[in-house]
Amino acid sequence: MPSIDRDIGNGLKIKARDDLENALDNLLESRDLFYYLMFFGMDGNRLDVLQEKYNVLAESMKQTLSELDNGLSICIVYNVRSEDGNDFGLCGSVKGEVARIGCNFTDNVSEADRIVTVNAESDDYNCAEFSGFHVYTSHATAEISIMNGATSETVMTDNVSGSGSHTAGYEDATKEAYKGLASSISEIIVKFIK
């Protein structure tokens, strides 16, 4: 399990968990081999020692797997600039999407396996009139950076942007823009945290 220990040490807990699950499945499938070893006359004492080593290894793998079940610990730092300081649900939407893959969140940067920084801003872009209705459009952009908490190495940086439109006003148009932005940000985070 040195490669799994190395992955854990490098903050690649999701990869380590997946690899460990596969290794444990393969190990458990080999349990039937003890019957054949006994059937073909392996010495009883030697077989007992081998079974004990097998059981210790399986329990160790299960213990490590249960420790990894909490997944990656992520700290997401948001800097959202809007006219009234509202994040329009961006933070909650991103966390909701990322939590689906088994990540947990912390506000303490020193406890995080990954530190995600999101700098987002929006502006009122345009208002047009169609058949007596006003359509308001807002534009939102975000810069995302992901850092490995274990090594302080920057994993990636990227920019995303989006627009939203609504007939109720710029605030609702901005909510729509951030909704699309949240989806793009979540996809990027999920792709690069593994």
Q: DSSP per residue over 2-58, as a string?
A: HHHHHHHHTT-HHHHHHHHHHHHHHHHHGGGHHHHHHHTT--HHHHHHHHHHHHHHH
Q: Label residue 60 by pLDDT band (50, 70, 90).
A: confident
Q: Give domain 73-193's CATH number out of 3.20.20.70, 3.90.550.10, 1.10.600.10, 3.30.160.150.
A: 3.30.160.150
Cβ–Cβ under 8 Å, residues 68 and 103: no
Q: Give the lowest-confidence range in 75-84, 116-125, 134-143.
A: 75-84
Q: Residue 41 contacts by C-beta under 8 Å, 6 or more apart in sequence? A: none
The arithmetic mean of pLDDT across residues 114-127, rounded, is 87
Residue 71: CA count within 13 A, CB half-sphere: 14
Domain ranges of the chain: 2-68, 73-193
Confidence at 174, pLDDT banded by 50, 70, 90: confident
pLDDT band at residue 145, thresholds of 50, 70 and 90?
A: very high
Phi, psi (rounded to 5 degrees) for 193: -85, -15
Average pLDDT rounded to a whole number, residues 7-11: 68
Closest C-alpha to 170, from 137, 141, 139, 140: 137
pLDDT band at 194 (very low <50, low <70, confident <90, very high): low
**Mean predicted confidence (pLDDT) in 68-75:** 75
Q: Are 142 and 185 in contact (CB under 8 A)?
A: yes
pLDDT at position 175, please?
86
Alpha helices (runs of H) in 69-169, residue ranges in sequence order:
90-99
pTM score: 0.65
